[in-house]
Structure 1
Amino acid sequence: MKFGKRILSAILAVSMALTFVLTGCSSEESGNSTAASGGSAADKKLSVAILLNGTLGDKAFFDSAANGAKMMESELGCTTKVIEMTADETKWIPALTDASENPDYDIIIVGTWQMTEKLEQIAEQYPDKKYIIFDSSVDYKDGKCPNVYSIEYKQNECAFLAGVAGALTTKTGKIGFVGGMENTVINDFLVGYIQGAKAANPNIKVLTSYVGNFTDTAHAKELTLAQINQGADIVFQCASNAGLGVIDGCAQKQKYVIGVDSDQALAFQSSDPTKAQYILTSALKRVDISITTAVKEAQAGTLKYGKSETLGLAENCVGLGTYNKAVTKDVQDKITEFSKKIQSGSIKVDTAFGKSTSEIEAVKASVKP
């Protein structure tokens, strides 16, 4: 798939010498569509705080958000501050409150479903402050949260392509999935992954495990080794920091791992090339591009607060990263074909959103060894 090769070499580059143009393609979901007030990008440089409900170093989701801060500085001239709130939930409301009371911050950015209710609470208390939430959406019913812009992703689309890659590359006919905490977003990855794998190989088998959190690398590695012992030779990790344990386990057993959120092959290329060689590809969720695009619109006075938008393959905000040499040209061509069919609408990718627990379990059971 050309998407990965065309723009992803810049994801983690310290220089941030970006050459592509940021665009704001999206599809409206809900909200009031109230545009931000302010001057043009030429005369208004914003100060942005990005509050992470975790820590940097995952080489994936949170690192992508931090990379967005660098993009805002280099492309938009913004002043940014990345704040690691850690995984300790008791710190999240105080940190969000402190940022909201800081007059220096024009926009405050948070992410994930774990921050949704907390942001709804704080946004109501600080109606003059502007907020962006990524990978989740606040509740806009009855005119709530007119000062919040929400970004959601079609992670099921990139996961579908990851499933195709896995199913067409496996030698054992068994592939794995290790999620962090089981929730709708993680299961959206899973549902898309299974659908893509079955589309490429109707006889594929998929092992599924959850760490129970996004931080326990040791347990994630244990789950990975257990799947490998059951015959999986490719494991897709969707577990943020805990996913580093999946990568470690696969490298130890010389099996392939599919990374998530950022191009993890590039992330490990210089720091740990041994692990990098076992990363088959990565299912990308371009947090960096999406939040930078939103801030660019806010800076121009065109960002529509009070609404949620969902970004996918068509908007270049999800896709696959660098391919390992194990992914043959024929497989890459087939992935590209599937991608085109998804974007044209001839393939409708299934989603975990709106599915009951029993329906999710049925999806898992359909490919259980």
Structure 2
Amino acid sequence: MKRTRALLIAPVAVTLLAVTACSGGATDGAASGGDKAALVIAQGGLGDQSYNDLANAGFESALDATGISGNTIESDDVVGQGEQLLRRAGQSGVNLVVDLEYSHNEIIGSVAQDFPDTDWVIVNAEAEGDNVASVLFQEQEGSYLAGALAALQTSNTDDPRINEDKVIGVIGGTAGVGIDKFLVGFIQGAKDVDPDVEVLTAYSNDFGDPAKGQQLAQSMFEKGADIVYSVAGGTGAGVIQAAEEANHYAIGVDDDQDGQAPGTVLTSVLKRTDLAVETLVQDFADGAFPGGETVSFGLKEDAVGLTDFEYTKDAIPQSTLDTLDELRQGIIDGDITVWNVVTDGYPDFYSGS
């Protein structure tokens, strides 16, 4: 894929706005007519080895498959400059805009009305508009399995990384339903398999600060936790580092982060943003864009779940792996209902940090 980089200074701030152009290679059956797409990068930016990087990989794959040309839009203040970024994309004549920043959910609907010839996608949130497609993941389902795994493994004192305390932890990037659905699912999964396990919670209030992640994880390890789950994008790199230094476990998120510290990352909670982005771009190319609809990706669609324990399988008892398989199937079959704070509000068992 041919790539060039240009730098533009936003007129209302000194924040740097980076636009990377990508030209997709045409393939048989690919879109024609010079369609252009843009991917708006969320908080944490590219290089997070998590949510943004995985989504961008799906975007580039879709460009190659469809022949659509595209570019990524990145800002140091993607939240504050949200409307400006979206309007600039619309004014540039882009035919499809995929926005990874959930906080744009209210902005994107109004902007989309002013650019009716452009199709818009908001990921991790819902927005109104006949030319807007919303993408929601059932992250709570994957997090439920991670919580169950952590609660079972924290009792496995044959593992030298596990202490005698039944304490685990989870760190969110920011408080709000988009992140809290991970935390609540994790807590529910842990409590369902062991009501006596203690789950520590905290927020980093940043998706790109490994030092803060390391500090929060160290604090949890000092309080008796031996497994900490990070739901904070690039901040999670610090959680993994803290776990490695303490000879405990981290749980990764979004992408497969197991190889970042083999044996230290117990598993990663996959959130296939690459699959979602690739699917929506392909739908656009096929003339089947789901405007006005909400598209859901969960365990049933194989869009969330756990990694295959490539580096930690020998540390996890077979009975635990069997239980995880049963829980996964129970969720898919509807026998287990995982709490979703987006639709159900907050449960009594969640008190925040």
Fold match, TM over 0.5? Answer: yes
1:184 alignment counterpart: 177
Q: 1:56-88 deviations in whole A, cap 9, x for unaligned?
A: 111111111111122213333332212222345
Q: Distance in 1 between matches of 2:79 and 2:343?
A: 27
Aligned partner of 2:337 among 338, 348, 351: 348
**Secondary structure at the residue paired with 1:69?**
helix
Aligned partner of 1:62 among 52, 62, 68: 52
* 2:280 matches 1:294: yes
1:304 alignment counterpart: 290
* 2:14 matches 1:50: no
**Secondary structure at the residue paired with 1:313?**
coil
Shift of the alpha carbon at 1:332? 1.8
CA contact under 8 A between 2:95 and 2:118: conserved in structure 1? Answer: yes
Aligned partner of 1:83 among 67, 73, 98: 73
Q: Distance in 2 between matches of 1:43 and 1:77?
A: 5
* 2:86 matches 1:118: no
Deviates further, 90-99 or 120-129: 90-99
**Secondary structure at the residue paired with 2:341?**
coil
Q: Distance in 1 between matches of 2:76 and 2:349?
A: 33
Q: Distance in 2 between matches of 1:327 and 1:303?
A: 43
CA contact under 8 A between 2:41 and 2:101: conserved in structure 1? Answer: no
Correspondences of 1:240-279 after superposition (within 5 Å): 240-266=233-259, 268=260, 275-279=261-265
* 2:124 matches 1:131: no
**Secondary structure at the residue paired with 1:127?**
coil
Shift of the alpha carbon at 1:213? 2.5
1:130 partner letter: D
Return structure 1 stretches of 4+ with deviation > 4 angstroms.
none
Q: Distance in 2 between matches of 1:133 and 1:214?
A: 19
Shift of the alpha carbon at 1:51? 0.8
Deviates further, 146-155 or 108-117: 108-117
1:255 partner letter: H
Aligned residues: 313
Q: Distance in 1 between matches of 2:206 and 2:293?
A: 29
* 2:149 matches 1:165: yes
Q: Distance in 2 between matches of 1:149 and 1:86?
A: 25
**Secondary structure at the residue paired with 2:117?**
coil
1:110 partner letter: D
TM-score by length of 2: 0.83
Shift of the alpha carbon at 1:217? 2.3
Aligned partner of 2:316 among 322, 327, 330: 327
Percent identity for Structure 1 against Structure 2: 29
Q: 1:74-114 deviations in whole A, cap 9, x for unaligned?
A: 333332212222345333322222211112x2211102321
Deviates further, 59-68 or 109-118: 109-118
2:197 alignment counterpart: 204
2:301 partner letter: E
1:236 alignment counterpart: 229
Q: Distance in 1 between matches of 2:168 and 2:82?
A: 36
**Secondary structure at the residue paired with 1:314?**
coil
Deviates further, 227-236 or 54-63: 54-63
- For residues 60 and 148 of structure 1, do their structure 2 counterparts lie closer, same or farther at Cα, with a shift above 3 Å needed? same
Shift of the alpha carbon at 1:354? 4.2
**Secondary structure at the residue paired with 1:302?**
coil
Q: Distance in 2 between matches of 1:330 and 1:317?
A: 25
Q: Distance in 2 between matches of 1:77 and 1:254?
A: 47
* 2:69 matches 1:73: no
Q: Distance in 1 between matches of 2:351 and 2:113?
A: 43
**Secondary structure at the residue paired with 1:208?**
strand
**Secondary structure at the residue paired with 2:80?**
helix
Q: 1:267-298 deviations in whole A, cap 9, x for unaligned?
A: x2xxxxxx233111111111100111111111
Q: Distance in 1 between matches of 2:200 and 2:126?
A: 30
TM-score by length of 1: 0.80
Name structure 2 gaps, 5 residues minimum: 2-27, 155-161
RMSD (Å), alpha carbons: 2.2
2:269 alignment counterpart: 283
- For residues 134 and 365 of structure 1, do their structure 2 counterparts lie closer, same or farther at Cα, with a shift above 3 Å needed? closer
2:88 alignment counterpart: 98
**Secondary structure at the residue paired with 1:146?**
coil
**Secondary structure at the residue paired with 1:364?**
coil
* 2:138 matches 1:154: yes
2:342 partner letter: F
Q: Distance in 2 between matches of 1:364 and 1:209?
A: 12
- For residues 129 and 73 of structure 1, do their structure 2 counterparts lie closer, same or farther at Cα, with a shift above 3 Å needed? closer
2:140 partner letter: N
